Amino acid sequence: MDNQFAQRATIGSEGRLAQLFGGQLGNQGIKFSAGNPDPNSFPTDRMGTAINSVLHQTGNQLFEYQTVVGPNSLRTQLAKRMEKTADIATSADQILLTAGGQQALDLVGKLLLNPGDEVAVEAPTYVGALAAFDQYEPTYYDIELADDGLDIDQLERTLRQHPHIKLLYTVPDFHNPTGITMSIDKRQRLVQLADQYDFYILEDTPYRDLSYVGSPLPAIKSFDRAGRVIFISSFSKILMPGLRLGWVTASPTIVNKLRQLKETNDLESPALMLAAVDEFMKTNDLDHHIATLLPSYHQRLTTMIDALDEMMPKSVHFTRPTGGFFIWVTLPTGFNAADILDQVVIPQAQVSYVPGRVFYAHQNVTNTFRLNFSGVEPTEIITGVTRLTNVLIPLLSQPTTFKAAAPVKSTVQNHH
Ligand SMILES: Cc1ncc(COP(=O)(O)O)c(C=O)c1O
């Protein structure tokens, strides 16, 4: 019977996301493979107060069917906040509340992509977006990343060769998985190219407020005059992922279409959570809450960079982000980070990372991996990096053992 599944279910079973959670760690395990915010930072009591308060204020009515777009009051608060923190001019009626950023990614794929439609993506890029888009069977074009964001010249060359590219997906702030941030200049050039070659930009920004050095840059959407930038964000990293709340702002036509697609998917997001977050933002200063997160994440980032600087061999390169949750590591050409994880790093060092292959549209680069620092205490970070480098150093000096069958090179320009 199972051979009757639709094509997209077969694509899903290839399991981009499944590869994220592989590997068994024992009690002494140190998990650099997660992408989680620190649960100790969650304002659980204050969210409880907000939930009780909306239950008390609204009663039964809260549990009736509501509107698919979510409460006007929360959308108004988000519109004001986006104006203040991202320079985006928007309004409540141009916002759709979604079940996390992930649902918004899926809805945008559903809205724009027919099989074979051409999509440009960063190489590497967020695996959850690739998993969502895969279902719609696009043709991907990889755009390399420099340390100031995607290679705009390469994008322009690709657009000249493939002028029908319909969508460019980017995580411009503290990118997952590399931590890289796109410069302002590139943000502006990207919008100019989108105007010239007539494509949509999907700007995915769950980490934009988690800037540990200086302020976040203006959003790409802030340079959009033609309504071609679809901006997605989420409460997952700045508040709590279990809320399952994200949002999209885009032109009224796009938001209206996304609303229709969401309606066929789940009718609406859970009203209790939407009302509670609305109340939370009225009675608490979200920006103050975010500010309280930054010192601890910054310390974890610095601890990891210092440990890598001190211990990693010079042949191993890594990014130096100034925000977000991740550092991206590139081993010398030809090493296979997935085999090394399974055969050496997990069994001998009891440390996990995410092998980089899943983050590439074509899963064709094997010598990279992602380290998460936000979910690990500083002392554990030092222990984990020590254990990791202790097993990597001897292995890298015997280059034949873990070479990939077909050597491939990382496309990210890192600095050590
Ligand atoms: C770049 C990016 N986009 C979207 C998401 C989806 O997050 P959520 O659905 O929890 O909002 C994540 C989560 O890790 C992410 O890193």
CATH number (domain holding residue 372): 3.90.1150.10
Round to whole Å and give the CA distance between 351 and 348: 8
Q: Which amino acid is at 210?
A: L
Whether the predicted pLDDT of 13 surpasses 60? no
Residues 271 and 365 in one domain: no
DSSP 195-213: HHHT-EEEEE-TTTT-BSS
DSSP 80-124: HHHHHHH-----GGGEEEESHHHHHHHHHHHHH--TT-EEEEEES
Q: How far is the CA of 397 from the centre of ligand 1 (A)?
A: 37
Q: How confident is the model at residue 8 (pLDDT cuts 50, 70, 90)?
A: confident
Closest CA to 16 of 140, 144, 110: 140
Q: Determine the average pLDDT of the residues in 119-127.
A: 97
Counting from 1 in the atom list of ligand 1, the atom nearest the Cα of 103 is: 9
Q: How far is the CA of 128 from the centre of ligand 1 (A)?
A: 7
- Average pLDDT over the chain, rounded to whole? 92
- Domain assignment present for residue 297? The answer is yes
Counting from 1 in the atom list of ligand 1, the atom nearest the Cα of 325 is: 16
- For 346-361, what is each residue's pLDDT tens digit? 999 999 999 999 999 9
Q: How far is the CA of 206 from the centre of ligand 1 (A)?
A: 6
Q: How far is the CA of 102 from the centre of ligand 1 (A)?
A: 6
Whether the predicted pLDDT of 14 surpasses 80? no
Q: Which amino acid is at 351?
A: V
Round to whole Å and give the CA distance between 7 and 4: 9
Round to whole Å and give the CA distance between 125 and 120: 11
Q: Where are the alpha helices (DSSP H) in 198-285?
A: 252-266, 271-283
Counting from 1 in the atom list of ligand 1, the atom nearest the Cα of 99 is: 9
CA Rg value for the chain: 21
Q: Determine the average pLDDT of the residues in 389-413.
A: 67
Round to whole Å and give the CA distance between 46 and 276: 10
Q: Which amino acid is at 410?
A: S
Residues 223 and 371 in one domain: no
Residues 112 and 204 in one domain: yes
- For 192-233, what is each residue's pLDDT tens digit? 999 999 999 999 999 999 999 989 999 999 999 999 999 999
Residues 253 and 342 in one domain: no
Q: Would you give the DSSP letter of residue 312?
A: S
Q: How many CB atoms lie within 10 A of CB 188?
A: 15
Round to whole Å and give the CA distance between 135 and 228: 23
Answer yes or no: are the C-beta atoms of 385 and 303 closer than 8 Å: no
Round to whole Å and give the CA distance between 184 and 167: 20
- Domain assignment present for residue 405? The answer is no
Instruction: List the beta bridge partners of residue 142.
Output: 121
The CATH number of the domain holding residue 253 is 3.40.640.10
Whether the predicted pLDDT of 410 surpasses 50? no
Q: How far is the CA of 3 from the centre of ligand 1 (A)?
A: 31
Q: How confident is the model at residue 25 (pLDDT cuts 50, 70, 90)?
A: confident
Whether the predicted pLDDT of 146 surpasses 60? yes
- Domain assignment present for residue 299? The answer is yes
Give the 3-state secondary structure percentages of the chain, helix then strand then coil, rounded to 5. Answer: 45, 15, 40
| CB neighbour list of residue 413: distance below 8 Å, 6 or more residues apart | 144, 145, 146, 147
Q: How far is the CA of 247 from the centre of ligand 1 (A)?
A: 11
Pocket probe mutation, ligand 1, options 202, 204, 209, max atoms within 8 Å of Cβ: 204
Answer yes or no: are the C-beta atoms of 262 and 70 closer than 8 Å: no
Q: How confident is the model at residue 152 (pLDDT cuts 50, 70, 90)?
A: very high
Residue 19: predicted pLDDT: 61
Q: How far is the CA of 63 from the centre of ligand 1 (A)?
A: 27
Residue 400: predicted pLDDT: 64
Counting from 1 in the atom list of ligand 1, the atom nearest the Cα of 35 is: 14
Answer yes or no: are the C-beta atoms of 186 and 151 closer than 8 Å: no
Phi (first) and psi of residue 75, to 5 degrees: -65, -35
The domain total for the chain is 2
Q: Would you give the DSSP letter of residue 367?
A: S
Q: How confident is the model at residue 414 (pLDDT cuts 50, 70, 90)?
A: very low
- Domain assignment present for residue 414? The answer is no
Residues 268 and 379 in one domain: no
Domain-ending residue, one of 260, 284, 308 = 284
Q: How many CB atoms lie within 10 A of CB 20?
A: 18
Counting from 1 in the atom list of ligand 1, the atom nearest the Cα of 101 is: 11
Round to whole Å and give the CA distance between 329 and 380: 19
- For 289-340, what is each residue's pLDDT tens digit? 999 999 999 999 999 999 999 999 999 999 999 999 999 999 999 899 999 9
Q: How many CA atoms lie within 13 A of 218 on its CB side?
A: 15
* Residue that has been written with the tokens 């700045």 in this structure: 238
Q: How many CB atoms lie within 10 A of CB 26?
A: 8
Q: How far is the CA of 287 from the centre of ligand 1 (A)?
A: 20
Residues 224 and 365 in one domain: no
Residues 84 and 226 in one domain: yes
Q: Determine the average pLDDT of the residues in 139-157.
A: 97
Q: How confident is the model at residue 16 (pLDDT cuts 50, 70, 90)?
A: low
Residues 157 and 250 in one domain: yes
Round to whole Å and give the CA distance between 241 and 99: 10
Q: How many CB atoms lie within 10 A of CB 387?
A: 17
Residues 133 and 245 in one domain: yes
Q: How far is the CA of 114 from the centre of ligand 1 (A)?
A: 23
Residue 406: predicted pLDDT: 46
- For 237-252, what is each residue's pLDDT tens digit? 999 999 999 999 999 9
Q: How confident is the model at residue 264 (pLDDT cuts 50, 70, 90)?
A: very high
Counting from 1 in the atom list of ligand 1, the atom nearest the Cα of 241 is: 10
Whether the predicted pLDDT of 407 surpasses 60? no
Give me the domain span that covers residue 383.
Answer: 2-42+289-396
Answer yes or no: are the C-beta atoms of 181 and 173 closer than 8 Å: yes
Residue 20: predicted pLDDT: 63
Answer yes or no: are the C-beta atoms of 97 and 269 closer than 8 Å: yes
Q: How confident is the model at residue 67 (pLDDT cuts 50, 70, 90)?
A: confident
Q: How confident is the model at residue 164 (pLDDT cuts 50, 70, 90)?
A: very high
* Residue that has been written with the tokens 């409540």 in this structure: 92
- Domain assignment present for residue 118? The answer is yes
Residue 88: predicted pLDDT: 97
Counting from 1 in the atom list of ligand 1, the atom nearest the Cα of 171 is: 1
Round to whole Å and give the CA distance between 201 and 51: 36
Q: Atom 16 in ligand 1: which residue has the minimum CA distance?
A: 176
Residues 260 and 311 in one domain: no
Round to whole Å and give the CA distance between 291 and 296: 10
Whether the predicted pLDDT of 22 surpasses 60? no
Q: Find the residues whose C-beta lies inside 6 A of ligand 1.
A: 35, 100-102, 126, 128, 171, 176, 204, 206, 234, 236, 241, 246
Instruction: List the beta bridge partners of residue 326.
Output: 372
Pocket probe mutation, ligand 1, options 78, 125, 234, max atoms within 8 Å of Cβ: 234
Closest CA to 35 of 166, 192, 179: 179
